[in-house]
Amino acid sequence: MATGRRNRASRSRGSCSRPPRRSRRCRVATEAHLAALQSAGLRLTVPRRALLELLARHPVACDAMSLHQQLRGQGRRVSLGTVYRLLRVLEDRQLAIAIASPHGRTLWRLCQPAPSAPRDAAATSAWLRSLAAELGYRLVPLH
């Protein structure tokens, strides 16, 4: 029974319960991520900055609940829904990666921002059509 209680307690704390460490690399990563968000037309709000700083200080992937608990522990007034929404924005902008974990929670980790390069839509479309054809598929337009 004691083992079951310990397992339950450790699961409720989240996947990254260690305190995050600070480093110069963290500041550089956060600045690059903030610049990428800003260049995408997103405002650099206090919750976005706080979540980016927290993610940058963690060496391992973390789940949203533990990130939320740590932000609340820092005195930040941010809801769990806001944390999930910000993580999705980071994932959509390819600034964070979502990792499916065995216990069902999604873990999040920052990625290095990719340099923005203009893409040729016609060339990309042609490449995708040829790739789909090689694999026995065909692309259909979405309406």
pLDDT bin (cut points 50, 70, 90) of residue 137 is very high
Segment 43-67 mean pLDDT: 86
Q: What is the CATH number of domain 13-116?
A: 1.10.10.10
Segment 122-139 mean pLDDT: 89
pLDDT mean across residues, the chain: 77
Specify the 3-state DSSP secondary structure of 15: coil
